[in-house]
Amino acid sequence: MRMLRYFPLALGNINVNKTRSLLTMLGIIIGVAAVLTTLGIASGAASSITSEIEAQGTNLLEVSPTGGGQGGTLTMADARILGDRDDFPQFAGVAPTYSGNATLVRGANDAGGQVRGVTADFPSVSTVEIADGRFLNAVEETNSARVVVLGHDLAGDLFGSENPIGQEVRIAGDLFTVVGVLEASGGSAFFSDDTTAYVPLGVAQTRLFAAPRYRGELTVSSISIKVADGYALEQAEQDVEVALRLLHGLGLDDDNDFSIFNQASLLDLAGSVSTTLSALLGGIGAISLIVGGIGIMNIMLVTVTERTNEIGLRRALGAHDRDILVQFLAEALVLCIIGGLLGIGLSYGVAALLTALPGFSIAVTIDAASVVMALGVASAAAIIFGLYPAIRATRLDPVEALRYE
């Protein structure tokens, strides 16, 4: 490899002009660090979202009114019929919910959050875990008791270090007794149990948010369905669609007035978003590499002018155009490789700093493939942006070069 023979010479020239070399490499250092850090953030965000979705279970269906708002055509009757195990043995659990936003008040403390009306079966179709106390029970659900289970952050905002169990909070003017506090969930890209309060479904529908009725039945915000083991998720989704279309009296040409989401489709969506985000952020970071490459080209052009005598002497001693070309390309390549390695080190430092920041929930992940890709792009930048200065060097006339002062 002819170019390898010039690497020691290139390193020597870099060592002679340390400050200039460092400034020349700065664009590549920043560019590589920017590319790797942005890709790491995208990868970490995708992993976080994927783990959150998988934690909910991949056998869950979520049915909501078309448009996702309140007052649609999804009702308690739909939930009761879908929850009949004799007719639908493929559904291990069915839990309707009705949600709204409210401010919870306890003494001088208040905190805003989502209040979800749920049934006692809700834990069977979700991942909520009790840290203290208990969840709502069937008797409280039937009697529409004014009891509440607080998310971890809500409990902290309202009670601080005090034990909330048995104490009261005010929601929309009504007093509710705290019967449980949830484990911290760490938040989610879509929803957080930490800032949610759970009350009996009937209380949310009739006292807190005045749920509208449809065909004489109270409406719901959503119906969560857990598919039983041994049943295919896709088939279960079709069963829900067929049942709801019949219940809602929809004709063959009518669109669904509800939407069904499953965790598998959310995983596919998360993967698609991750790919798009990685491409976008990587492209933005690559702009820094292009700027760095242009900087190297400019400095190499100056270097060619400064070393005109050296080039003339080498040509006079028998060096061919190819030798001069390879020499300057080798210097550009060494600059970019060193800059790339420094950029990789910088990206790991930035990743560690971001991950350690309070409130930054994404673990920035820099994988080996991204590192190899970044080095490859840096090397390609060296060849592309170092080629023109190298060609300029080969075109110098030896006689004129030797006369150059």
Span 199-237, pLDDT tens digits: 999 999 999 998 999 888 999 999 999 999 889 888 999
Nearest CA to 119 out of 192, 197, 179, 202 is that of 202
DSSP tag of 206: I
pLDDT at 10 over 70: no
CA–CA separation, 211 and 220 (whole Å) = 8
**Which runs of consecutive H residues, i.e. helices, occur in 357-395?**
368-394
Per-domain boundaries in the chain? 3-52+268-403, 67-256
Task: State pLDDT tens for residues 231-276.
Answer: 988 899 999 999 999 999 888 888 999 999 887 676 676 677 777 7
The CA R_g of the chain, rounded to the nearest whole Å, is 32
pTM over 0.85: no
Q: CA distances (Å), 299 to each of 3, 173, 402, 405, in order? A: 20, 71, 22, 19
What tens digit of pLDDT does each residue of 37-68 get? 888 888 887 777 766 666 666 688 989 998 65
Torsion of CA 88, 91, 95, 99, to 10 degrees: -100
